[in-house]
Amino acid sequence: MKHLIDTYKHKGKRKILISELAEMGISNQQILEAFYAIPRHYFLDLVFEDQAYSNMAFQIGAGQTISHPFTVAFQTELLDVKKGDKVLEIGTGSGFQTCILCQLGTKVFSVERHLSLHQKSKKIIEFFNFNAKLFFGDGYQGSPSYAPFDRILVTCGAPEIPNELLKQLKVGGIMVIPVGEGAEQKMLKIVKINDGEVSLKEYGTFKFVPMLEHKVNSQK
Ligand code: SAH
């Protein structure tokens, strides 16, 4: 693959990004270390390589974007994973968030509705030798055959909390999901108390690409 080279310059920029994330309130040391271990520029087109360690979102094809580093770190912190957790991710996108979760020792199952992104992210995740399970499909369906999950992370803006995903969450499990129609979403952390009962807390406003139904066979 074309630009999978990690130089001292990249590493230096990553250290700066990590100290910025810490200043912005990310305190989980393991997450900050994962941001050092996974070179974000591997997930971007060459044209963005120089900016890969600024706190920005970038186009990744199919009209989608890789999330801001802060958003990835913030969602990961809220998800509160431990080694060995089974995590369902909705919206593989570039695969960056998937790799951060793998680096933290979780077993990731990730669903992407765009075929082109599914195929591209698969290659890069394999490059790291992570054994995540990647699906081309509609995240609204989750992954019934691998359910239930300890954690569910939605990385696109959902109009409401999908019932099917709640069903696939273990009792005591956590779901982190940005919810809201339109341009902005509220970040929610949901804990499943038992079937039919959840506790819910809000963590500020974010902007995500929308969670849309059905698979898309886009080749771009
Ligand atoms: N976690 C990604 C974020 C990408 S943006 C990253 O680190 O790069 C969100 C992604 O969610 C997009 O790739 C979009 O195509 C995908 N998406 C939107 N609706 C979806 C759905 N219903 N099922 C699966 N993926 C979906």
Structural domains in the chain, CATH included, are 8-206 (3.40.50.150)
Q: Mean of the pLDDT values across residues 50-58?
A: 93
Q: Mean of the pLDDT values across residues 52-64?
A: 94
Span 7-35, pLDDT tens digits: 999 999 999 999 999 999 999 999 999 99
- The pLDDT value recorded for residue 210 is 96
Is the pLDDT score of 43 beyond 80?
yes
- The pLDDT value recorded for residue 219 is 63
- The pLDDT value recorded for residue 4 is 87
Distance 131 CA to ligand 1 centre (A): 19
Span 177-198, pLDDT tens digits: 999 998 999 999 999 999 999 9
Ligand 1 proximity of 175 Cβ (cutoff 6 Å) = no
Answer for the pair 148, 173: CB distance below 8 angstroms, yes or no: yes
Integer distance in angstroms from the first to the last C-alpha of the chain? 18
Compute the C-alpha angle 169/120/126, nearest 5°.
70
Sign of CA dihedral 197, 203, 205, 210: negative
- The pLDDT value recorded for residue 80 is 98
Ligand 1 proximity of 111 Cβ (cutoff 6 Å) = yes
* Residues, the chain: 220
The atom of ligand 1 lying closest to the CA of 72 is: 7
The atom of ligand 1 lying closest to the CA of 121 is: 8
Q: What is the rounded distance in angstroms from the CA atom of residue 150 to the CA atom of residue 196? A: 17
Q: What is the pTM of this model?
A: 0.97
Of 55, 76, 155, 216, best ligand 1 pocket probe by most atoms within 8 Å of the beta carbon: 155
Residues 19-55 as b/e (b if ≥16 CB within 10 A, e otherwise) read eebbeeebebeebbebbeebbbbbbbeeebeeebbee
% of the chain with per-residue pLDDT over 90:
93
